[in-house]
Amino acid sequence: MAGTSRRVVVTGMGALTPLGLSVDEYWDGLVAGTSGAATIESFDPEGLRVTFACELDGFDPEDHLPAKQARRVDPFSQYALVTADQAVKDAGLDPEAMAQDEKDRIGVVYGTGIGGIKTFRDQAEEFIEGGEKRTSPFFIPTLIPDIAAGQIAMAHGFRGPNHAMVSACATGNHNIGDACRMIQEGDMDAALCGGTDACVTRLGIAGFASMRALSTRNDDPARASRPFEAHRDGFVMGEGAGALFIETLERARARGAHIYAEIEGIGMSADAHHLTAPDPEGGGVCLALNRALDNAGLAPTDVDYINAHGTSTPLGDEAETQALKKVFDDHAYDLNVSSTKSMTGHLLGAAGAIEAIATIQALRHDVVPPTINFEEADPACDLDYTFNEAEERPVNVALSNAFGFGGHNTSLALRAYDE
């Protein structure tokens, strides 16, 4: 077999985020400490417990996709298709000009935490009103979580392995990690991978609000997402997508691609504890972090920066802090931690993907993006969370954490690429 030693690098990135509709705008927003949260504009949130979110301002699918395709897919697939296009172009590839043999070695591993919730809600209403006679033939193939990966393959002719890992808010990391493993194992030479979600809908907000998972700071949206801060009261829903084009180091070198970073490994585990609450001891998270270090061949002291899951929930941020202290011991206080969800909100299945991009940008630019909205310290959260201001510092090795409802834990290990 091709062996598990194939090195995998990132050569293309694409992002649609509440801070901007490109990787550059997104990164500029992060470094500037900008909040993407505001009162919901895409529908009237009147009557909901939570009336704000981090939406994709100015996104019109028909600016990016053919009109029929834009109307035929759920927003989660629109976001996936657009970020895939961005990442392919950013990697310097023109699929229309590529030989099919080459495209047959490129896979798509692109997931969503929720899938087509807008489609589900609209079609359920049609069904309740009109029965089977009014049930669209496009209902199922628009709703299913794997369809974004299928749509991307159709758009570019990529015929390598194709699927969608689903693990709630750990989806982005699982898809990147799985794609990386399949490249290492020789199933394919390159992949378009990432995550997407479009859950800022009345039903989506109602569902998460009903769990009491969301911040209710309706009168001050921009300051609602405050991970690791004393007065945090839940996460802020975001929407969007992130895509990476990844390939073997050999392939990237052979085609003279610009290399952004190297994927060193991924650690995965379960809490085996509760539907939605984290293990307060952080046991499952410790397993994922240690497995990420082992998989990447890293010592804890090698790590300079951790892009935390840090959703701004009272329990989650404390449990993650506990886990970091157990795994990194004294070094936990030396490295920089930050939660970019303080600015983007929580993009669910896209969170791991856009946070991998934030982490790669930190490695490239030696800048740690901040955790904004710090006012008062929580004694249980006593690490260096890079509060309020971005920090310049050497960043050579970084982890990006993503955990999901169901107790799924992931940590992705990334390294700055050095010729």
Partner 1 sequence: MASDIEETVKSIVVDKLGVDEADVASDASFTNDLGADSLDTVELIMEFEKEFDLTIPDEEAEEIATVGDAVGYLEEKA
CA distance linking residue 4 with residue 231, whole number of Å: 46
Query: What are residue 47's phi and psi, to 5 degrees?
Result: 95, -10
Torsion-angle region of 33 (φ positive above 0: left; ψ -120 to 50: alpha; else: beta): left
What's the length of the chain?
Answer: 419
Beta carbon of residue 368, minimum distance to partner 1 (angstroms, whole number): 46
- 162: tokens are 């194709």
- The catalytic position among 64, 309, 381, 408 is 309
Beta carbon of residue 62, minimum distance to partner 1 (angstroms, whole number): 11
Count of H-run helices and E-run strands, the chain? 14, 14
Beta carbon of residue 138, minimum distance to partner 1 (angstroms, whole number): 6
Beta carbon of residue 68, minimum distance to partner 1 (angstroms, whole number): 3
Beta carbon of residue 73, minimum distance to partner 1 (angstroms, whole number): 13
When the beta carbons of 68 and 94 are compared against partner 1, the nearer one is: 68
When the beta carbons of 126 and 302 are compared against partner 1, the nearer one is: 126
**Are 205 and 53 spatial neighbours (Cβ–Cβ below 8 Å)?**
yes
Nearest to 320 by CA among 350, 275, 288: 288
When the beta carbons of 130 and 280 are compared against partner 1, the nearer one is: 130
β-pair type (336-338, 305-307): parallel
Residues of this chain that bind partner 1 (CB under 8 A): 66-68, 71, 130, 133-134, 136-138, 141
Which amino acid is present at 415? R
CA distance linking residue 289 with residue 186, whole number of Å: 26
346 is catalytic: yes
When the beta carbons of 134 and 258 are compared against partner 1, the nearer one is: 134
Beta carbon of residue 103, minimum distance to partner 1 (angstroms, whole number): 22
Query: What are residue 343's phi and psi, to 5 degrees?
Result: -110, -40
CA distance linking residue 185 with residue 247, whole number of Å: 12
**Are 195 and 357 spatial neighbours (Cβ–Cβ below 8 Å)?**
no
Beta carbon of residue 387, minimum distance to partner 1 (angstroms, whole number): 49
- The catalytic position among 64, 163, 174, 346 is 346
CA distance linking residue 19 with residue 25, whole number of Å: 7
169 is catalytic: yes
3-state SS, one letter per residue, for 116-143: CHHHHHHHHHHHHHHHHHHCCCCHHHHH
When the beta carbons of 121 and 134 are compared against partner 1, the nearer one is: 134
- The catalytic position among 54, 156, 163, 169 is 169
Bridge partners of residue 12, in order along the sequence:
245
When the beta carbons of 1 and 128 are compared against partner 1, the nearer one is: 128
When the beta carbons of 66 and 280 are compared against partner 1, the nearer one is: 66
Nearest to 407 by CA among 269, 271, 211, 282: 271
- The residues annotated as belonging to the active site are 169, 309, 346
